[in-house]
Amino acid sequence: MNEKYLKYVNDFNTGDIDHLVDMFDNMENVLRFFHKKDLLQYIDPFDSDVEDYQLEILNYLLNVVNDKKTLDYCVAQLSDIIPTDDGYYLRVRDREDLADLFYGSSRDTSARDVARAVLGEDNDMFERWGDTTDDIYNDVVEELDNENIEHLKKYMLNVLTNWKIEVDDETPDLFNNYSEDGIFYLTPENVGDVIGDKESFMYLIDNGYLDDLESELANVHSNAYNSAYETEVYNDVISELETFFDMKSAKWEAAPPFEGSQKLIEFYKIKFNPNEVANSIKKYVADRNNWGYSDNNLNYVSTWINMMNTFMDNGDEPWLDFRIPDYPDSRLVDKYINEFLPDYI
């Protein structure tokens, strides 16, 4: 190496940079000169002696030179990023740490609150609705598929085997059509018609012939309703996280907390979308370089999540956000009703 150039590099690496900036007019020109003379490899942007210029150096190395080694060096500063042969992974102790990427508004319940509940171990922040239906026939019976209609038939026939119901002016017309000598029996031949006729079905419920069925159908609806709501907000949270991650890759795994440790700790590991890590780091150093404060240096950020929070706090990156639904999707409620019914009756 030319002796004069060696002195420039040594001055730079020991923090004696001002005279170089004066000589070349600005830091970018210093870096361009080093680049032209193939000297950038001798500069450590994370050395404490150059911390006041770290972001400007990194911005040049990443966004002008596109230096892969520098990107690897930057990734090493962020403790929650794990490089692997098939890409970068985020690794956190608590899955709910991902909720910090969501908007935490001043409203009573924010997207961040919901995300923390969905991702956390205690998924019980939702105030479960108790009385979700005042009409079990319309809300449950009419939504049953053919398989569950057959299941309901068997249940009713089992409960009302050989049960006599006297037909009078108060009983449904359907009972009279099937009565013999003024007595109605529930049979395999007529049970389907009874289920299909709200007046007849509810007569059996309201007059104590099917004591447990009303409460069980109400429980089916309540569980389906609440589960549908929780599924909907879970899907909203996961959909937002797909902005940054391949959510299908997410898994828990045991790993040592640091190199050389014999202890294993469970971590939540999730793969970044292609180019997400490189793009976010490059954007960070470019944006923070414009601020000109060493307090924003990459090695002070410590984690990728903290780095993104800095972006989001300053409006440089939108928070993950979604509209919190007031009620669940009725189609999902109906789906769960049919899934859950056999567990209740």
CA distance 111 to 103: 6
pLDDT at 341 over 90: yes
Rounded alpha-carbon distances, angstroms, from residue 122 to 115, 125, 275: 12, 8, 33
Strand partners, 149: none
Q: Is 129 part of any domain?
A: no
Percent of the chain topping pLDDT 70: 96
DSSP 250-298: EEEEEE-SSTT----EEEEEEEEPTTHHHHHHHHHHHHHHHHT-GGG-H
CA distance 314 to 327: 33
pLDDT at 337 over 80: yes
DSSP 8-state symbol, 325: P
- Domain span at 141: 136-223+328-344
> For residue 143, which amino acid is it?
E
pLDDT category of residue 232 using cuts at 50, 70 and 90: very high
If you count them, how many residues does the chain have? 345
Over residues 178-212, the pLDDT tens digits come to 998 899 999 999 999 999 999 999 999 999 999 89
Rounded alpha-carbon distances, angstroms, from residue 303 to 91, 95, 273, 317: 10, 15, 17, 16
Q: Is 212 part of any domain?
A: yes
Rounded alpha-carbon distances, angstroms, from residue 40 to 17, 37, 62, 114: 15, 8, 12, 47
The answer to whether residues 134 and 218 touch, using CB atoms and an 8 Å cutoff, is: no
Q: Is 247 part of any domain?
A: no
Over residues 62-101, the pLDDT tens digits come to 999 999 999 999 999 999 999 999 999 999 999 999 999 9
Q: Looking at residue 1, what is its pLDDT?
A: 61
Q: Is 65 part of any domain?
A: no
Strands (E), 241-299: 245-255, 265-272
Distance of CA 98 to the CA centre of its chain: 8
Q: Of 242, 271, 270, 267, whose CA–CA distance to 86 is shortest?
A: 271
pLDDT at 247 over 90: yes
Distance of CA 140 to the CA centre of its chain: 30
pLDDT at 292 over 70: no
Coil, strand, or helix at residue 270? Answer: strand
What rounded mean pLDDT belongs to the chain?
Answer: 92
Q: Which of 199-208, 284-293, 300-309 has the lowest mean pLDDT?
A: 284-293
Pairing of strands 164-166, 87-92: unpaired
Backbone angles phi, psi at 292, to 5 degrees: 75, 25
pLDDT at 244 over 90: yes
Taking every pair of Cα atoms in the chain, the longest distance, rounded to a whole number of angstroms, is 119
Q: Is 173 part of any domain?
A: yes
pLDDT at 175 over 90: yes
Q: Is 278 part of any domain?
A: no
pLDDT category of residue 268 using cuts at 50, 70 and 90: very high
pTM of the model: 0.87
Strands (E), the chain: 81-84, 87-92, 164-166, 183-185, 245-255, 265-272
Give the count of domains, the chain.
Answer: 1
* Lookup result for tokens 């391949």: 246
DSSP 8-state symbol, 199: H
Q: Is 158 part of any domain?
A: yes
Distance of CA 278 to the CA centre of its chain: 22
Query: Stretch 336-344: mean pLDDT, rounded?
Result: 97
Q: Is 211 part of any domain?
A: yes
Joined tokens for residue 194: 């009874």
Q: Looking at residue 123, what is its pLDDT?
A: 60
Q: Which of 108-122, 199-213, 273-287 has the lowest mean pLDDT?
A: 108-122
Over residues 137-150, the pLDDT tens digits come to 999 999 999 999 99
Over residues 119-140, the pLDDT tens digits come to 986 666 566 788 899 999 999 9
Coil, strand, or helix at residue 3? Answer: helix
